[in-house]
Structure 1
Amino acid sequence: MNPTLPLSLFKSAQRNLTGRIRRTPQMDIVLDTGKTVTAKLENLQISGSFKIRGALNTVLSLQSETLAKGLVTASGGNHGLGVATAGAMTGASTTIYLPRNTPALKVAKLKKIATNVIVDGDVWDDANNLALEDARKTGKTYVHPFADESVIAGQGTLSLEILQDNPDIDIMLVAIGGGGLISGVASAAKLIKPGIEIIGVEAVGAPTLKNSLDAGKLVALEKIDTKANTLAPRQSAQVNFDIISKNVDQIVLVSDEEMQASAHWLWQNCGLGLELSAAAAIAALRFGAFTPPKNKKVCAIICGSGPDGH
């Protein structure tokens, strides 16, 4: 896939999704550092996170005979919920493979929506191998959580919304798991506003893309050591690495403790119920992993809901 995606791809995805998902609000938050940051509240999105954007954009591109064979994917939870919701919206059966580190609440939620939920493998990469094998054997369509053009285009609709509603944003902070969200957000944002700065945020215990950028090539982590399981594949994909190399200005790291404290702070001060990964961008600002210039307007993407701050 070409690491330079056209703006038309993101605008087409936005047309596909309009009226089917929520145009989530943006809210200004004054952090305890004194910095005011605009938060894009994807925790209020249907399915509970931004993942419905890429999943539904992909599923809507499929022919009816392909949909009839069903969908299959592997997920840390949120992408699975996105695919299961997209399947329910289009009448397609869905099989979701989850690693054993998936939170029990997400497993329970998925079992109410998906046709079939299978919990197996230590981390996402293991569950993903099982999903790929299922697709090979059954003819189901495999929906990749991050290394797919239509998924990246769907996630990039976030930038269109953010900059349409708030064109003065100078810097965006984006959590990174496999890299699908930041690939879409960074690509679309730079097409609309070339001078915008994109800061990725990874967990200290899963620096998949930071290690890859530092090495100048895609690398696989030997182990994962974070409770933020949606930020924790051992390896990204070449397409995401290429897009991120071209469009992301910096990647910073935050600890589980910093994400936990920030999720708690956001619950106590803003009434936002988030999972650890959704507090990553705010954690980077609160604990100094990234300090923006005082005159720059910052947007932090709050990527998913959950009970981790309660």
Structure 2
Amino acid sequence: MISIDCIRAAAGQIAPHVRKTPTIAVEAVSEPVTDARLMLKLECLQATGSFKARGATNKLLSMPREAIANGIVTASGGNHGLAVARAARIAGVPAHVFVTESATAEKREKLKRWGAEVSVLGAIWNETNEAALAFAEEEGAAYFHPFADPAVVAGQGTVALELLDTVPDVDTVLVAVGGGGLIAGMSVALKALKPSVRIVGIEPVGSPTLKACLDAGRLVRLDSVTSRVATMSCGMTDQKIYETVRDHVDDIVLIDDEAMLEAARWLWFELGIASDLSGAAAIAALRSGRVTFGRDETVGALVCGAGPDGIA
């Protein structure tokens, strides 16, 4: 789907438009979540509040101006929509974002503040996406896929370049999974630059999109999606995303929504980090014992999205 060269090119292309987010060591906490040295990559501090700004910006900058003349449209659980709304503002064109019914009120309001036209439609992303594709066809708008697009995946992969620059001795990287674009891009970069690194994806119990594919040995569509985490809920991924994950990712573990909520509360209480539920997925996997590590290991974990979920 993409190569390390694609990711390096994306890093250069998007550099003037995105932030190099910090990576911090988790120290001096009252309730440790692992014996390992834990490093958090704070993509919650990225423009629009998530890593999605990287992929949407790379997609924008990879397109000719005339292709976006009628605006940009996408389907999203929230974070990708925000990134697309910002990309549209950079380009000076309108954005229309179709969001799932489970998208939080906070993200819907934020989309409007970024200037996007917002339509709420569909219980899961795949249904919402059908509406977005129809709109693109009718209006001649440019469609930005949240994960099954090489330019988007390459943009998301730039997170791994920064993480390795900061934590070159990382042994394992924990990555939240929705449609799979982030873990696909990051895994290509990580395995190309440090083949020994272990990559673990984290999915909701109620939306095991990629784990179901890996277990079946083929692309499958889930019979139902019950997770309330809109940014991690997807009924079916893309064939090339599945193949990339199959070839590069070492394991995928499942956690429940409540564990992510408690992890978001942990992040706020211990570190003052305002994370959405997807951003807390890695901490949830550690707190629940779905992944365990020893004192001699270094673990990199993404806080991939911002939100007030853990504050209340």
TM bracket, shorter-chain basis: over 0.9
SS in 1 for 2:26: strand
Q: Structure 2: how far apart are the matches of 1:108 and 1:46? A: 16
Per-residue Cα deviation, 1:148-190 (whole angstroms, up to 9, x for no partner): 1000000000010111122111110000000000000111111
**% same residue:** 44
Q: Structure 2: how far apart are the matches of 1:12 and 1:58? A: 12
Q: Name the aligned partner's letter for residue 299 of structure 2.
A: V
* Higher mean C-alpha deviation, range 194-203 or range 284-293: 284-293
Q: Name the aligned partner's letter for residue 120 of structure 1.
A: L
Q: Structure 2: how far apart are the matches of 1:72 and 1:203? A: 27
Q: Structure 2: how far apart are the matches of 1:237 and 1:114? A: 29
Q: Structure 2: how far apart are the matches of 1:149 and 1:187? A: 12
Q: Aligned residue for 1:11? A: 8
Q: How does 1:86-97 map to 2 (within 5 A)?
A: 86-97=87-98
Q: Structure 1: how far apart are the matches of 2:90 and 2:24? A: 29
Is structure 2 residue 45 aligned with structure 1 residue 48? no
Q: Name the aligned partner's letter for residue 60 of structure 2.
A: V
Contact 1:95–1:114 under 8 Å retained in 2: no
The 4+ residue runs of structure 1 with deviation greater than 4 A are: none
Q: Aligned residue for 2:253? A: 252
TM-score by length of 1: 0.97
Q: Aligned residue for 1:139? A: 140
SS in 2 for 1:213: helix
Structure 2 residues not aligned, in runs of 5+: none
Q: CA deviation at 1:226?
A: 1.4
Q: Aligned residue for 1:212? A: 213
Q: CA deviation at 1:276?
A: 0.8
Q: Aligned residue for 2:167? A: 166
Q: Aligned residue for 1:228? A: 229
Which structure's relative contact order is higher, taking Cα pairs within 8 Å and 6+ residues apart? 2
Q: Name the aligned partner's letter for residue 14 of structure 2.
A: L
SS in 2 for 1:54: helix
Q: CA deviation at 1:242?
A: 0.5
Q: Aligned residue for 2:244? A: 243
Q: How does 1:60-79 map to 2 (within 5 A)?
A: 60-79=61-80
Q: Name the aligned partner's letter for residue 5 of structure 2.
A: S
Structure 1 residues not aligned, in runs of 5+: none
Q: Structure 2: how far apart are the matches of 1:193 and 1:186? A: 10
Is structure 2 residue 59 aligned with structure 1 residue 37? no
RMSD between aligned residues: 1.1
Per-residue Cα deviation, 1:15-58 (whole angstroms, up to 9, x for no partner): 01112111000011142444331000000011010000000000
Q: CA deviation at 1:287?
A: 1.2
Q: CA deviation at 1:295?
A: 1.9
TM-score by length of 2: 0.96
Q: Name the aligned partner's letter for residue 186 of structure 1.
A: S
Contact 2:263–2:287 under 8 Å retained in 1: yes
1:23 aligned to which of 5, 20, 30:
20
SS in 2 for 1:117: strand
Q: Name the aligned partner's letter for residue 17 of structure 1.
A: I
Contact 2:35–2:295 under 8 Å retained in 1: no
Q: Structure 1: how far apart are the matches of 2:286 and 2:18? A: 29
